């Protein structure tokens, strides 16, 4: 990589103990020593004890000396924070209170959250001197948090319910997002968190398939219900999680080494697709098609027509193999008479229109979090109008930017790592996360899920992936984007053509 890749304001640095196999055969878990760039930003760099490279600036030497004087919490505190985050995520996604309801299990997530935030706050201040790194997504999510908080005192009717909605899952999800992007910035840490989400999705899919086969259809007499409640209790929300984890499973499949691991992740992907089917979710089907097209377009870049034709053929086979009731359910998107729950599509359409009207009538702070459901007796069934109606347009734009911003950065990573065998793991994971976020943007149009953990963890994974990549190439973790790389960002064939052209222009006229 040429030196022109780095801006003049940053010193090129070497990442700590980069693992050869990356995502699947172990990866760096070392806490980085902070080196200060010329702009005062922290850059991750590995420095052997008692050794400094001759080219190391004096700021690095002073940083090492300072690191030796730091206490254990400052050096290893984020490892403790990560353990708390890991346990909180496990409890939040598995919901042990649904299996063993008692006072301990019902409050377990709360106390784990308090512990994690306490250790994080002290450690972050001691290590970094601030409360969080500052990627743009952090600003947007904090703006969303402020919009939700301000909607409480100005709620249209039920301020107590607005407060409960704010404190229940929404505030926890945002706080854990901030912890996530500051703590899970090694490949191993990020991989383990992603595997919790994926593992829960596969377990739920297997349970849904079992319920469908045994006839345990608890929703409308023909749809399965998640064995875990909360954000998985509704069939539509359940299908959304299946779809969000499908690109993650495909990405792990692509980066895995070994046939057994590839078979395992292929089976995970198959289970997730089957789970989408047995939920009978129409929004889930549209999301599945979106994700499939995104993956086919990006992974089949050199043979897109072939891959799109393959997707079309697979879609036809998929519909042919699906249960007859599922095909009828999909056709009900165009014919109300085919719906089991008569008027469902029409009711959702009316709710969408009403939520847009409410958002336009209350553009500043909305009607208060959770108040739409109390006033109109039903959810908006649309995350965008849910935020706009209950938090105002300020909250709506913050929410939208929070989701969209990671897509551009992931695309930059995809483009920069394309054709680079040493960083193929970043290439496939960037594509997988883009597909997951694109799928969420579609599925959230059919469900009021803006206050759940789902999107905050998805965006958190995307931001952490970006930070890990930035650390590897030697730029600050919270940089606003990849520096301009000139010819280094071009595809190999493009660079080769450029070199041939430059050689041709330098040849003497008689040789030409």
Distance CA 169, CA 144 (A): 14
User: Is the model's pLDDT at 496 over the cut of 60?
Assistant: no
> Do residues 146 and 206 both lie within one domain?
yes
Residue from 418, 424, 426 nearest 490 by CA: 418
At residue 340, the pLDDT reads 61
Q: What three-state secondary structure class fits 43? A: strand
> Do residues 139 and 41 both lie within one domain?
no
Write the pLDDT tens digit of every residue in 128-175.
Answer: 889 999 999 999 999 999 999 999 998 878 899 999 999 988 999 999
Q: Which domain holds residue 385?
A: 134-476
> Do residues 34 and 114 both lie within one domain?
no
At residue 91, the pLDDT reads 95
Write the pLDDT tens digit of every residue in 74-104.
Answer: 778 889 999 999 999 999 999 999 999 999 9
At residue 23 the predicted structure's pLDDT band, cuts being 50, 70 and 90, is low
Radius of gyration of the chain (CA): 25
The pLDDT mean for the chain works out to: 81
Contact 152, 163 (CB under 8 A): yes
Beta-strand (E) ranges in 53-135? none
> Do residues 176 and 108 both lie within one domain?
no
Residue whose tokens read 């803006």:
450
- DSSP notation for 348-385: HHHHHHHHHHHHHHSTTTTT-TTHHHHHHSS--S-HHH
Share of the chain above pLDDT 70, in %: 79
Domains contained in the chain, number: 3
DSSP label at 201? H
> Do residues 452 and 344 both lie within one domain?
yes
> Do residues 261 and 385 both lie within one domain?
yes
> Do residues 165 and 249 both lie within one domain?
yes
Q: Which of 32-46, 302-316, 490-504 has the lowest mean pLDDT?
A: 32-46
Distance CA 71, CA 271 (A): 47
Q: Which of 57-61, 301-305, 498-502 has the lowest mean pLDDT?
A: 57-61
Contact 215, 224 (CB under 8 A): no
Distance CA 278, CA 236 (A): 11
Q: Considering the domain boundaries, does residue 506 fall inside one?
A: no
Q: Considering the domain boundaries, does residue 421 fall inside one?
A: yes
> Do residues 421 and 446 both lie within one domain?
yes
At residue 234 the predicted structure's pLDDT band, cuts being 50, 70 and 90, is confident
Give Cα separations from 382 to 71, 165, 166, 218 (angstroms). Answer: 48, 17, 18, 24
User: Is the model's pLDDT at 61 over the cut of 50?
Assistant: no
Mean pLDDT along residues 250-258? 94
Q: Considering the domain boundaries, does residue 361 fall inside one?
A: yes
Write the pLDDT tens digit of every residue in 439-484.
Answer: 999 999 998 999 999 999 999 999 999 999 999 998 888 788 787 6
Q: Considering the domain boundaries, does residue 366 fall inside one?
A: yes
Name beta bridge partners: 223: 219
At residue 320 the predicted structure's pLDDT band, cuts being 50, 70 and 90, is confident
Q: What three-state secondary structure class fits 223? A: strand
> Do residues 99 and 150 both lie within one domain?
no
Indicate the residue among 20, 37, 59 that finishes a domain: 59
Mean pLDDT along residues 297-323? 82
Q: Considering the domain boundaries, does residue 512 fall inside one?
A: no
Write the pLDDT tens digit of every residue in 187-203.
Answer: 999 999 999 999 999 99
At residue 503, the pLDDT reads 44
Q: Considering the domain boundaries, does residue 497 fall inside one?
A: no
User: Is the model's pLDDT at 43 over the cut of 60?
Assistant: no
**Which tokens sit at 348?**
């959702």
> Do residues 280 and 397 both lie within one domain?
yes
Distance CA 32, CA 128 (A): 12
> Do residues 269 and 298 both lie within one domain?
yes
Write the pLDDT tens digit of every residue in 356-385.
Answer: 999 999 999 999 999 998 888 788 889 999
Distance CA 55, CA 57 (A): 6
Indicate the residue among 115, 131, 147 that finishes a domain: 131
Parallel, antiparallel, or unpaired: how do β-strands 33-36 and 42-45 relate? Answer: antiparallel
Q: Considering the domain boundaries, does residue 2 fall inside one?
A: no
Q: Considering the domain boundaries, does residue 394 fall inside one?
A: yes
At residue 343, the pLDDT reads 53
Report the sign of the C-alpha dihedral through residues 33, 37, 43, 45, in that order.
Answer: negative
> Do residues 146 and 124 both lie within one domain?
no
């Amino acid at each position: 990589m040429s030196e022109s890749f780095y801006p003049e304001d940053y010193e090129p640095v070497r990442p700590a103990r980069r693992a050869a196999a990356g995502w699947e055969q172990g990866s760096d878990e070392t806490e980085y020593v902070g080196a200060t760039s010329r702009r005062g930003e922290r850059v991750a760099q590995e420095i052997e004890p008692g050794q400094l490279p001759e080219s190391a600036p004096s700021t690095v030497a002073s940083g090492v000396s300072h690191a030796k004087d730091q206490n254990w919490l400052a050096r290893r505190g984020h490892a403790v924070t990560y353990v708390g985050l890991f346990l909180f995520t496990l409890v939040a996604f598995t919901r042990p209170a649904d299996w063993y309801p008692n006072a301990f299990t019902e409050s377990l997530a709360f106390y784990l959250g308090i512990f994690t935030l306490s250790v994080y706050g002290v450690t972050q201040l001691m290590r970094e001197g601030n409360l969080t790194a500052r990627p743009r997504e952090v600003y947007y999510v904090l703006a969303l948090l402020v919009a939700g908080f301000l909607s409480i005192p100005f709620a249209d009717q039920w301020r107590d319910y607005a407060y409960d909605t704010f404190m229940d899952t929404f505030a926890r999800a945002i706080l854990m997002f901030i912890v996530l992007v500051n703590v899970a910035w090694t490949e191993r840490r990020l991989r383990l968190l992603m595997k919790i989400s994926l593992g829960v999705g596969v377990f739920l899919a297997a349970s849904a398939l079992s319920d469908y086969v045994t006839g345990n259809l608890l929703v409308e007499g023909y749809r399965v219900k998640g064995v875990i409640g909360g954000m998985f209790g509704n069939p539509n929300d359940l299908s959304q999680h299946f779809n969000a984890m499908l690109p993650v499973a495909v990405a792990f499949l692509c980066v895995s080494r070994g046939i057994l691991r590839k078979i395992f992740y292929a089976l995970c992907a198959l289970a997730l697709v089957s789970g989408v089917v047995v939920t009978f979710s129409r929004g889930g089907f549209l999301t599945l098609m979106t994700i499939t097209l995104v993956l086919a377009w990006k992974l089949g870049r050199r043979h897109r027509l072939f891959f799109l034709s393959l997707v079309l053929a697979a879609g036809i086979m998929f519909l042919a193999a699906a249960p007859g009731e599922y095909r009828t359910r999909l056709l009900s998107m165009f014919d109300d008479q085919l719906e089991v729950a008569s008027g469902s599509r029409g009711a959702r359409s009316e709710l969408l229109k009403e939520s847009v009207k409410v958002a336009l009538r209350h553009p500043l702070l909305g009607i208060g979090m959770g108040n739409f459901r109390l006033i109109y007796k039903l959810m908006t069934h649309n995350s965008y109008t849910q935020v706009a109606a209950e938090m105002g347009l300020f909250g709506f734009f913050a929410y939208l930017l929070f989701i969209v911003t990671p897509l551009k950065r992931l695309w930059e990573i995809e483009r920069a790592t394309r054709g680079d065998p040493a960083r193929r793991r970043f290439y496939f994971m960037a594509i997988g996360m883009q597909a997951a976020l694109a799928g969420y943007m579609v599925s959230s149009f059919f469900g009021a899920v803006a206050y759940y953990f789902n999107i905050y963890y998805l965006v958190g994974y995307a931001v952490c992936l970006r930070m890990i990549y930035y650390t590897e190439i030697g730029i600050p973790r919270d940089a606003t984007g990849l520096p301009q790389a000139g010819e280094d960002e071009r595809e190999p064939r493009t660079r080769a053509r450029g070199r041939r052209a430059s050689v041709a222009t330098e040849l003497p006229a008689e040789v030409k």
